[in-house]
Amino acid sequence: MFFILIFSVLSDHAFGKDQYKGTGIADLLENMTREQVRKKAFERAMNNALAKAGIEVTSVDGLSRMEREEGEMFENFIQFTFTRTNGLITEIDTLIDEIQSVDIPGGKPILQHRVEINAKILIEKEEADPEFQINMAVNEDIFREGDPVHIQLNSTKDCYVTIFNLYSNDSLLIIFPNSEMEDNFIGENDTLRIPPKDAFWDLPAGLLPGHDTSVEALVAIATKKRIPIQLEGIAMRNGLISQNDALLTINRWRGKIGISDRTEAWCFYRIIK
């Protein structure tokens, strides 16, 4: 479900017709690393910019559910990367990115990470196709490192599917289509299995270097026409789209497709040693 776009945008919020300033602040807490706090401040700054553009923002339900059930502080994804909104951040200019000491009346000063950005936002005014939906599932909620991951996906309409593996450090890997399965077409009401039942290869669950556990996401984006994502000029490392380029790369691609011609599905799972 996509949210209705609110059009009451105040002009003094915008730098230009499609550029909005966003501010995010996060306290440095004992149970969070400085990088986690910085990411939280960036997330709030980008959500703040979207709000100033008159766009309602919601996080993906799956990660919030896993956090509540596990009762732990996972390394945070930039949760709005694929949020269901009518606005896509396609460019970011960072104005402030620093730690500040803030005085508290009657108490000790606290440290906060403050981020201010100028965000270019593509506002999509069309509506989603309610009859175009995809569903995706994996074979387990918790994998041990090296366990095979099996993906199953079906669609209500003929479409072309691209599946991304979103890691807990916000980097992305395109896992479908791939060299073993180059055709990403799926027919109406058909079921796509990755790998296929008779495949001689698999998708092993893997942890990032130095991690004993992590939460990852699979993100499937289906389009009514074949529209390959273009990665020329995008910074990559070991086949991964870097965390600095992942959000903007995907949002630019999504923006070219349009809401009525695409739909999305998520799966979250945890990997342990």
Residue 84's contacts (CB-CB under 8 Å, 6 or more residues apart) are 1, 2, 3, 58, 264
Q: Cis before residue 109, ω within 30 degrees of 0?
A: no
Domain with CATH 2.60.40.2550 in the chain: 134-272
3 state SS of 58: coil
**Half-sphere exposure for 189 (CA within 13 Å, toward CB):** 0
How many Å apart are CA 29 and CA 25, to the nearest integer? 12
How many Å apart are CA 139 and CA 149, to the nearest integer? 7
Find, among 167, 168, 185, the residue nearest to 176 by Cα: 185
72-93: per-residue pLDDT in tens?
Answer: 434 444 444 445 567 888 889 9
Residue 179's contacts (CB-CB under 8 Å, 6 or more residues apart) are none
| Amino acid letter, residue 259 | I
Q: How confident is the model at residue 105 (pLDDT cuts 50, 70, 90)?
A: confident
143-190: per-residue pLDDT in tens?
Answer: 999 999 999 999 999 999 999 888 766 677 889 998 899 999 999 999
pLDDT at res. 238: 52
Strands 19-27 and 236-237 come out as: unpaired
pLDDT at res. 57: 67
Q: What is the mean pLDDT of the chain?
A: 80
In terms of phi and psi (left: phi > 0; alpha: psi -120 to 50; beta: otherwise), the region of 54 is left
Tell me, which fold does domain 11-123 have in CATH? Dodecin subunit-like (3.30.1660)
- Phi, psi torsion values for 144, nearest 5 degrees: -85, 150
Token couple for 101: 């000491």
Domain with CATH 3.30.1660.40 in the chain: 11-123
| Average pLDDT of the residues in 8-14 | 35
More confident residue, 229 or 135: 135
How many Å apart are CA 18 and CA 170, to the nearest integer? 25
Q: Which CATH class is domain 134-272?
A: mainly beta
Token couple for 89: 């951040």
Q: How confident is the model at residue 241 (pLDDT cuts 50, 70, 90)?
A: low
Residue 102's contacts (CB-CB under 8 Å, 6 or more residues apart) are 109, 110, 111, 112
123-143: per-residue pLDDT in tens?
Answer: 888 888 999 999 999 999 999
Find, among 231, 241, 211, 200, the residue nearest to 74 by Cα: 211
**Tally of CB atoms within 10 A around 198:** 6
Find, among 38, 69, 81, 59, the residue nearest to 270 by Cα: 69
